[in-house]
Structure 1
Amino acid sequence: MKPTAIYSRKSKFTGKGESTANQIDLCREYIALHSGKEAARTALIFEDEGFSGGNLNRPAFQQMLSAARNHEISSIVVYRLDRISRNISDFSTLIEELSRLNVAFISIREQFDTGSPMGRAMMYIASVFSQLERETIAERIRDNMHELAKTGRWLGGNTPTGYCSESVQTITVDGKSRKSCKLKLLPEEGELVRKIYSLYAQTDSLSKTEAELRRQNIKTKTGRDFTRFAVRNILQNPVYLLADQEAYQYFTENEAELCSSPADFDSTHGILAYNRTDQEKGRATVYLPVNEWIVTVGQHEGLIPGREWVKVQESLEQNRSKSYRKPRSNQALLTGLLFCSCGSRMYPKVSKRLNKEGQLVYSYVCKCKEHSQGSQCAQKNVSGNRLDAAVLEEIKGLTEDKAAFVEQLEKSKSFYSGDRTGYDERLAGLRKKCADVETKLTALVDSLAELDSTAAKNQVAKRIDELSGQQETLQTRITELEGLTAQNELSAEEFDILVQMLSSFRTTIDLLSVEEKRAAIRTVVQKVVWDGDAAHVVLFGAEGDVGYTTIPDLSQSSEDSK
């Protein structure tokens, strides 16, 4: 008898109310009542905490769906319908697929069971109301944005470089006197913002601006090196834009929703724009077009004249359209495994030249060297074609002792077969820390409005910046771990095939595709470190036994290394 799956979800971690644990307990009770205690005991649990019901891009949900597709479960039980999805299209597609797979879907709260025609019909009707609720919430949020925009308030969160948050007394649109926050200019950081705009105007390049900031050892407000992404975020942010006539014309021509009159554009204050981004857990932030922004003149002081800011936006757009695109036919095998001895990753840079074998010539370049244009790392580039070939030859040598080689592969089996309890625990811990930091940030931002002492405000603002840096670091690590586990997971059968394939590596390597070669290398090699003269290959899962190989004469000519 196939087990039943229990799915629970909650958008935010609160530890109370309809928590995922409470949902699971209620589902177990339902299963015990209708199918027996043994069925409740053996039910498979899938839970997502901190994920929206707006779509199906949730890790535990996708695992449950895979189990259904592999015919490993007989039914899915949820506490409430909207725990699955609030989107009609997603929901109807899911129910149709589960029906094809003969997997029943049961919602306790609504008492729906897709095992019957009436249950399926009622499920679709309920999903319509779920989507209506979601769209009503979205509309209410947008209406709230309009009301907030009329006040020119700073709503909290990470303050942009150049400003801190301070509390002010204001009259809100409902006529009540309340404390709220506005941005206060920090002169020293404001000069840094002006410097970044000036450097970009001179170079017309994000990379060159980044390199010059690194050369001058100028750090972000969290004490880190600038990246071109951080530079671009500052250049794109309308908070620095002076509310002058050029700004008014720009937003009018781009059909943004303006909540300020032409007279409010006084060439003194800055701009606040709401609804600039579409943020969803698990994917990169999407920047919305200007015609979807809700724009108002803020209470803070602006920094960059409209003509200059608009010119920068036009330049960014032009450069984006002609920027480098990663080749679809990338032949590099060590991407993600290769590190420079300075600690930075190395990535392939493809030329337009061909070697004697008719392959595109590519080099591996240190990311730190490239971003700083040699001011922070001057390591030589390494020939990608030759290094990849040398690593493959090294693996061929390992396969000569087949018994030892297969034993080495078995050490990595748990990682590649999906049994990664350690990784799952680390991910759960990181997500919990990230949620805790978010809670602290929210509390600190809210407390600013209640503080009267300037010294206390500065202390709180400093702590907010520290926590923002911690949150950014945690989110980066979460993304890395999620990507690592997702892209390396193999079924037991796939792993056994890979072992067989690698056991005859010497004779089959030339027959493999690029993707198969990458998978083969990642099963054996943990990382490769380039020191400018030699490549050091570290075997995966060798439990302290590090294998090195010196591969000389792979550095590029001095001309290519620039």
Structure 2
Amino acid sequence: EPIKMDGINTKKLVVNPDESANIRLMFEMYAQPTTSYGDITRHFAEQGILFNGKELIRPTLAQMLRNPVYVQADLDVYEFFKSQGTVIVNDAADFTGMNGCYLYQGRDVKPSKKNDLKDQMLVLAPHEGIVPSEIWLTCRKKLMNNMKIQSARKATHTWLAGKIKCGNCGYALMSIFNPSGRQYLRCTKRLDNKSCAGCGTIITSELEAVVYQQMVKKLDSYKTLTGRKKAAKANPKIAALQVELAHVDSEIEKLVDSLTGANNVLLSYVNVKIAELDGRKQELLARIAELTVEAISPEQVSQISGYLDTWQDVSFDDKRRVVDLMITTIAATSDSLNITWKI
């Protein structure tokens, strides 16, 4: 909520008692070695408990468990972030086990920010934390270990992985084997907490065949349009967004520089401004990425055409690359199919 400290407007996290209890329970559950994301999301779904008015889902849960905004930051938390190469603005003596923290991503931070804390910036927040440091650190280290295990995984069951969504709820579809060895697609939300009716019976190989046919048709129609000429031209919208992005980056850098030697009041004010600018930065990056993928080049059209002509001989990874060039999402049920194209 907005507050005023020594005449300066800023913000702090305010959580009502019921929500605080649920957040603590979330961390306490995940701190147990055998507890999974699914165990926690099912528990809250069965109890009808919402977070910010929405049902708790795995990505949201993971984000909350990583966020130091909830921790009662003490010296153990300070030493943890210091060991990870995080830039810590406050002195060690300020970590008294009372306040939460804000974690900011600097402009030079690696994309793997969920797991790599190096060069990110940690600042004590004006609000009190609600999760004991021992529990928060147990969860954070468990998350980091899980990320190391999962980083080696990649899609192996279908070249549509990452694109196929449930036509009913919009959650991802997962290709799994039944006892006979045949692959079917299942809604991950239904698998998670049964709050979706599911996508019906979809055999993975049959959907792949239909999508392949649609890809061939789409590319044939694309070749006859003026899209190829348009794609070769620079997009003025992208240029304008890149100019604004450079300005936002510059403003963030100035604010970060101003934190050196700042008092707590100035820290609180700058924290809010950096958070606002970082939000705008993420919006700009997402829009630039969206516009960039729309601009498929003539060379890519030729390459895709060659792949589609020899589809049976194309490697699994190359099939995924072709799908990524052509398709944004595929919403499917046993009765419907809706493909959102990039071209």
TM-score normalized with structure 2 length? 0.63
Q: Take 1:335 and 1:281, find their aligned partners in 2: how far apart are those partners?
A: 28
**Is 1:218 aligned with 2:55?**
no
In the alignment, does 2:154 pair up with 1:327?
Answer: yes
Contact 2:164 2:329 in 1 (8 A): yes
| Equivalence for 1:205 | 36
Question: 2:269 corresponds to which residue?
Answer: none
CA offset digits 1:217-259 (Å, max 9, x no partner): 7244xx766553443333233332224xxx3245347755671
**What is aligned with 1:259?**
91
Q: Secondary structure at the match of 2:144?
A: helix
Instruction: Summarize deviations over 1:64-87 as a string: whole Å, max 9, x none.
Output: xxxxxxxxxxxxxxxxxxxxxxxx
Q: Select the residue among 15, 23, 47 that pairs with 1:196.
A: 23
The 2-side partners of 1:528 and 1:265 are apart by 48
1:530 aligns with 2:332: yes
Match of residue 479 from structure 1? 289
Alignment of 1:301-340 (within 5 A): 301-323=128-150, 326-327=153-154, 330=156, 332-335=158-161, 338-340=164-166
The SS at the match of 2:50 is: coil
Alpha carbons of 1:474 and 1:416: their partners in 2 closer, same or farther (altered >3 Å)? same
* Structure 2 Cα separation of the partners of residues 381 and 236 of structure 1: 36
Q: Which residue does the alignment assign to 1:236? A: 66
Q: 1:344 to 1:281 in 2, by over 3 A?
A: farther
CA-based RMSD: 5.3
Query: Could you report, residue by residue, the CA deviation over 1:382-416 in whole angstroms, capped at 9, with x for unpaired residues?
Result: 222232134446778x6xxxxxx986241367359
Size of the aligned set, in residue pairs, is 319
**Which digits, 9 at most, give the CA deviation of each residue in 1:153-172, with x for residues without a partner?**
xxxxxxxxxxx353322xxx
Per-residue CA deviations over 1:206-226 (Å, capped at 9, x if unaligned) read 344445556747244xx7665
Q: 1:198 to 1:432 in 2, by over 3 A?
A: farther
Distance 2:236 2:44 in 1: 38
Partner of 1:514: 316
TM-superposed deviation, 1:270:
0.8
Amino acid in structure 1 at the alignment position of 2:289: T
Corresponding position of 1:168: 5
Q: Point out which structure has higher relative CO (alpha carbons under 8 A, 6+ apart).
A: 2
List gaps (5 residues or longer) in structure 1. Answer: 1-163, 170-178, 356-360, 399-404, 443-448, 451-460, 542-562
Hey, what's the Cα distance between the residues in 2 that align with 1:539 and 1:185?
40
Task: Identify if the C-alpha distance between structure 1 residues 511 and 183 changes in structure 2 by more than 3 Å, giving closer, same or farther.
Answer: closer
Counterpart residue identity of residue 28, structure 2: A
Query: Does structure 2 retain, via aligned residues, the 8 Å contact 1:241–1:271?
Result: yes
Structure 1 counterpart of 2:142, one-letter code: S
Checking the alignment, whether the CA contact within 8 Å between 2:69 and 2:100 is kept in structure 1 is yes
Q: 1: distance between equivalents of 2:159 and 2:82?
A: 47
Q: Deviations over 1:282-311 (max 9, x none)?
A: 945365448x78777655322222232223
Indicate the percent of aligned positions where both proteins have the same amino acid: 16
Kept in 2: contact 1:528–1:537 (CA 8 A) = yes
- 8 A contact 2:69–2:101 mirrored in 1: yes
Structure showing greater Rg: 1
1:388 alignment partner in structure 2: 208
